[in-house]
Every structure is written in structure tokens, then in C-alpha cells.
Structure 1
């Protein structure tokens, strides 16, 4: 039975992100909750609820006062202000505008804490599987005004993100479906694509990564075009004052990114993934076709 009230109608993502930002900022000052609460003239329970993302109503003026008390810089203060303004929102849409700075990519923060990623990508290689050359070719088009130094910083961020899959201790698991189109679309040149496809095939041999390909012959398994999406699952239990993250669906678009956390939305996307998976090649056959496409790119260099 569906629950009523704010749990099903209001997104909790902005207030959880705001709480985490303020908790980290307080920790950076070396203050405990009692000291910080006294500094901003709040009660300890009130500040604690805010940090745990449990405050239903947040005043921007209060957040700005906390940011000033913690000595936060202009960029971080702008992010906190933007999050506070979004707390009462019915849905969460991170637009690439001046509301929240473009460098404050909430997806990267969520992705880093996820224990399991379920992904459908019909357009490009997922960032966690991209080679440096593939990422560089994309970013030169996407950020034409960036200097070479700025481009390299973007690539470094991607490489850091990839550690969640390849770290030696408790790496995240990933189940990803790539449309055949992703492998055949040339990004950069055929040399770049050949290396990229080989890298994807190699990554698919890891125990924590399940990569499958849905081919052109599969048609439209859902009877409609499906956008790229990522389902992020997190630890099931909280430790200490850490907030339990509900599963999130992230849908990226050209003008912004949607974050969906209602159980009904998550269920819809899980069903979609299962249908796409049923229409895909199995893991071994997928690896074979990825390597075959790599050889084709190599021969067309």
C-alpha cells in the first residue's frame, strides 16, 4: 500500500544534500554539534535534524547565517542557498543554471556512495567505463572553450569516479546495458573507439561488473525509446548519525538532470531494465560482440 504524505510527494534529495554539505562544513571547522549550535544560536537537536536531512522547512536566511558562521566560501554558500531553496520542491531537477553552480554535480556525490549501479546507456559509453582518450574527445566537443588544463582536470575527475568499480576493497557492483549504437558510434576516431571497446570488454571480465549489449536486431524491447538512466542503491542500514539514502533514479538530459526517488518511479525503471536485459545478449556473447566491434574499428583506422 502506498504511503501518503511528504514521503511520496516531496523529494528528500535537496535536504539530504544540504544536510550533508553543512555536516561536512562543520566537521571541517573542528566544531562538534554543541559548539556549532551555540555559535549559530540553535538548539543541538535542531541543528542535528538539519544535518540529517530531516528538516521539512528550511529558511534560506538561516542557511546563509550558518554558512557565514562556518566561514564558507562564495561558491559553497551559493550551493547551500540553492539547495535550501529547493527543499520544498515536489521533484528535483538540477538545471545547468545559476541556481546551483554547474561544478556542484550532485550525481557524482551520490554515485560515489552507491553500492550498486544499474545502468542503461543507449547513446555514449558510461563515464565509469570511459578511457581517457574517449573522454577527451567528448569533452572537447562539450566544452569547446576549456583550456587543455581544464580538459585534463575533467578527465581526472572521471578517473577518480572509476575507482568505485576497481578499488580492491568492497568495490561497487554495476549491471549495465549498452545499446550496440554506443559501440559503433565513432567518438574521436576509430583508434580511440577500438581502444575504448577493448577496455569495455576487459572491464566486463571483473566479478563486480555485468555488461550486456542490446543489438539493433532487438528493436525496441519496451515499445518506445528509453532515455539513459542510472539506478543507484545504497547501504540498507545507517551507522551513527549517517542518513540512509533511498534508491535514486538519475536521468540525464542535455539541459539538466532529473532525480527520481519515489518508490513507484524506481520500480518502473527496474522493470524497464529487466525487460531490456531479457532482450540483450548474455554476458559472454556481449563480450564477444564488443571485441568484434573493436576489431572492426581497428581495421578501419
Structure 2
């Protein structure tokens, strides 16, 4: 469990690499300290590699193969491919000066995940926002207008990349209270509602509305995003805060959040009922 602000953040490809190397190390019964001594390095370097903070160079990877008795050519090739991906410049590099490190980590998880499950009780999830809603929200933050403009473009690119990937799914619980928390203007909110209604027709998005006036709907889970990687990496949970974010990898803690999220989904409106409720809010001209 790590709280990220502006320190070096773990990226998904590096985490996949580190997770695989840790499993191989444990399989041969070596401690991180023993590996560090045999590599003539430091235990902290081994720890940073396994946590995904840094990735090993090719010569280090060959040493890991020897130490961990990784002789299967397919496994070696998989690790080499992960190493290449981990060293490639990320597409969001152009926005690294305006996007905080924790947000860059989140985007890397989005890139590698096959399914994202999310609940946001304050504002709509970034992948659900219209450009106008996103701009109005971003402009409330700190920094100059030029930085806000870059963050709007960054969010647009993030959304485009997600929607252009046919194998990705977003299961999102929308808290009805977020729709009563006005952002920008009435016109922006109406446009955002129309966008949500349109997304209910997109098979990549599954929306559930958590009604505000339902005693059985409990939202104590708080802001939580769960990333599933189809077995390539253990499921990760992320909780965003005001000035950073908590990356949760502990299996029991992740499992508790997954179960709480599943209960919230079960007690929220199903997708077809969500669409009807959104249309009713729009038709009654709440804004």
C-alpha cells in the first residue's frame, strides 16, 4: 500500500515485471537481501524493481534468469517484452509537467487493465466526463490557465485511448449525489447527462446509479477504482485523495474493497433502470 503524491510512481508494465520477478525469487527460496548480494547491488534496488518503481536493465534481467533458474524460453521472452514496454516512453510523457505522478500511475493502470470498476462519490469519473464538464472542474484547481488547457487535452486523449480499445470495459457506479453537485453551468450539466445516457448504449460502459434516497444503498466505500489485468498482474485498488492517491496491492485489503464494491453494485440501479432515471432527471429540467 503506497500513498503517491509527486514521488516516482509505479507504472503497470514495471509492476507486472516486478511481480513476476518476485514470484520467481520466492519460488527458488531467495530473500531480496540474498539476491542483492549475489548481484552485488543493494536490497533497495531489488525492492524498487519488485515494486515497479524502476525496471531492470537487460544485463540485470539476464542475471535474474540465472539466479531464479528461469530457463523456459517463453517465460524469458515474456519478461523481455515487459522490460521493453517498461522502458518505452509513455504516451502521456508530453503531459508529465502538468499531470501529477499519481495520476500518471492511474493512467498506466488504465492502459494495461482489461476491466476497470469504479465508484466516485464526489464528481463523475474522468472517463465519463464531457470535455466541458472536465474543463469546468479542472479550472477550479491550482495552476495557470495554460496548465488547465493541457490537462483538458490530457483528459481528452485519455478518454479517446480508452474508447478506441474494444477489449476494455468500465463498470462504474455513479452516485446520484454527483449529479446534484453542479459543475460549470446548467448547459454543461445537461450536456453531461445526455452524454451519460448515450454511454449506456455503449457495450464498453456499464453504468449503475446509486440512488440518493435509498436506505439500502451504502456508500461508505468512498472513492475507489479497481483495476483487473486478466491475470497478468494481481488486481489493484486505487483511492484518490485531495492531493494524491493510495495504491493498494495487499490481497486482503483489495478483496475487502472488491466485495464492498460488488454489494454497492447489487444495491444500485441496473443499467436499464439507470438510463431511465438519467432521462427522467434530464426531462424534469432539474438544472
The TM-score range, normalised by the shorter chain, is 0.5 to 0.7
CA RMSD of aligned residues (A): 3.3
Question: Which residue of 137, 150, 153 maps to 2:147?
Answer: 150
Counterparts of 1:40-79 in structure 2 under 5 Å? 44-46=62-64
Question: Secondary structure of 1:211's match?
Answer: strand
CA displacement, residues 54-106 of structure 1 (integer Å, 9 cap, x when unaligned): xxxxxxxxxxxxxxxx9x9xxx9xx9xxxxxxxxxxxxxxxxxxxxx934621
Give the conservation status (yes or no) of the 8 Å contact 1:194–1:295: no
Q: 1:44 to 1:118 in 2, by over 3 A?
A: same
1:24-82, Cα deviation, whole Å (9 max, x unpaired): xxxxxxxxx2xxx3xxxx68325999xxxxxxxxxxxxxxxxxxxx9x9xxx9xx9xxx
Residue 229 (structure 1) aligned with residue 228 (structure 2): no
For structure 1, the 5+ residue unaligned runs are 1-5, 24-32, 50-69, 80-100, 237-243
Mapping of residues 112-191 of structure 1, within 5 Å: 112-143=111-142, 145-147=143-145, 149-167=146-164, 169-191=165-187
Aligned equivalent of 1:211, options 193, 197, 207:
207
Structure 2 distance, partners of 1:268, 1:46, is 34
Q: Distance in 2 between matches of 1:256 and 1:203?
A: 28
CA shift at 1:273, angstroms? 1.3
| Deviation of the 1:245 alpha carbon | 2.0
Contact 1:121–1:177 (CA<8 Å) still a contact in 2? Answer: yes
2: CA distance, partners of 1:188 / 1:295: 20
Partner of 1:267 in structure 2? 255
Corresponding residue SS for 1:217: coil
Output one character per residue of 1:131-189: Cα deviation in whole Å (capped at 9) or x when no partner.
1111111111112x322x3222111111121134421x533111111111111211001
TM-score normalised by length of structure 1: 0.63
Instruction: Give runs of aligned pairs for residues 231-246 of structure 1, distance below 5 A.
Output: 231-236=226-231, 244-246=232-234
Q: For 2:188 and 2:251, how far apart are their aligned partners in 1?
A: 40
Matched residues, number: 217
| CA contact 1:112–1:161 (8 Å) conserved in 2 | no
